[in-house]
Amino acid sequence: MDERRLDGNATAGVLAEIFTFEMTTARTACVHCGATGEVGAQMAYVSEIGTVVRCASCNNALIRVARQDDGGRYWLDLRGVKYLQLEEHL
Amino acid sequence: MGRGFFSRGFRGRRRESEGDDRIPPGQYLVDGFPVLSAGPTPRTPLAEWTFTLDGEVDEPRTWSWEEFRALPSEEVTRDIHCVTKWSKLGTTWEGVSVDTLLDGVDTAAEYVVGFCDGGYTTNLPLEDVTDGKAWIAHTYEGEPLPPEHGGPARLLVPHLYFWKSAKWVRGLRLAAADEPGFWESLGYHNYGDPWREQRYWGD
């Protein structure tokens, strides 16, 4: 167990700054191994330099987010996911 | 008692004035050594560890840990600067100069990619890792480099922001074309000079 590993729910804050949908319950499919699951059930590495959501099955980087330190600009890389399935919560 | 008080004040002022010259714009000093991770800490056994030089070279070169540690090492003391704004002065490392690894290599490459356990990469101009500017560091402050700081070996390129000093480095790939690495492809500056505050694209 890596001491700096968090679960995907730790990314709720930064993802909520970008997406209007609740992202921790969004389902992903990993480009590398095909595993599917909710973002909140994946692994997360969160630091000042950026946030990385990694596949709980194969460790592939699913979602990467970097934020300029003044908060004025974000970069989002979704190359690690085949798709995101988003649910509207009414 | 008066002497002690005077002493503390004197050291404090001295250090501040030294730091002023040595801290790049926007940075602050830390005494600790923060750990930033973008993935799990790899734990490759030394018996399985290798360091590889490949890409635009006639013959790729690979060293086992034993062979790598038999290469001449240098002790270097340098200030380091993280893009998240902390700087740490006077850190002492031992490592193998990249010049030593490249000795006798004939290449037309102008760029290099450091590749690592866990898939991390970082890109640099070749001229920024040669002529005594970069090392493969295996020792920090006299002790084997701990895994959380990149051990058993990390790239050390102290004149650039510290994300370029890739932890858990396993090789250098020489390339004719520049290829942005893990953070360089996600908004962080392609070169990363702390003295020009090159943190993000467009800086």
- Residues B58-68 pLDDT 10s: 999 999 999 99
> Under a CB-based contact definition with an 8 Å cutoff, are residues A50 and A66 in contact?
yes
Verify whether the Cβ–Cβ distance A50 to B200 is below 8 Å. no
CA distance B51 to B65: 8
Verify whether the Cβ–Cβ distance A49 to B200 is below 8 Å. no
- DSSP, residue by residue, chain A: --TT-EEGGGGHHHHHHH-SS-STT-EEEETTT--EEEGGGSEEEEETTEEEEE-TTT--EEEEEEE-TTSS-EEEE-TTEEEEE-----
Cβ of residue B130 closer than 8 Å to a chain A Cβ? no
- Residue B67, in any domain of the structure: yes
Nearest to B112 by CA among B161, B36, B38, B164: B164
Nearest Cβ partner for A66 among B35, B119, B188: B188
Q: How many helices (H) and strands (E) does chain B have?
A: 3, 11
Section A83-90 average pLDDT: 88
Q: How many domains does chain B have?
A: 1
Lowest mean pLDDT among A17-31, B6-20, B70-84, B94-108: B6-20
What pLDDT score does B156 carry? 98
Distance from CA of A52 to the nearest CA of B (A): 6
- Residue B143, in any domain of the structure: yes
- Residue B201, in any domain of the structure: no
B85: domain CATH number is 3.90.420.10
Q: Which domain holds residue B162?
A: 2-196
pLDDT tens digit sequence for B27-49: 999 999 999 999 999 999 999 99
What DSSP state is assigned to residue B20? Answer: H
Distance from CA of A87 to the nearest CA of B (A): 27
Task: Name the residue of chain B whose CA is nearest to A67's CA.
Answer: B187
So where are chain A's domains?
A: 6-85
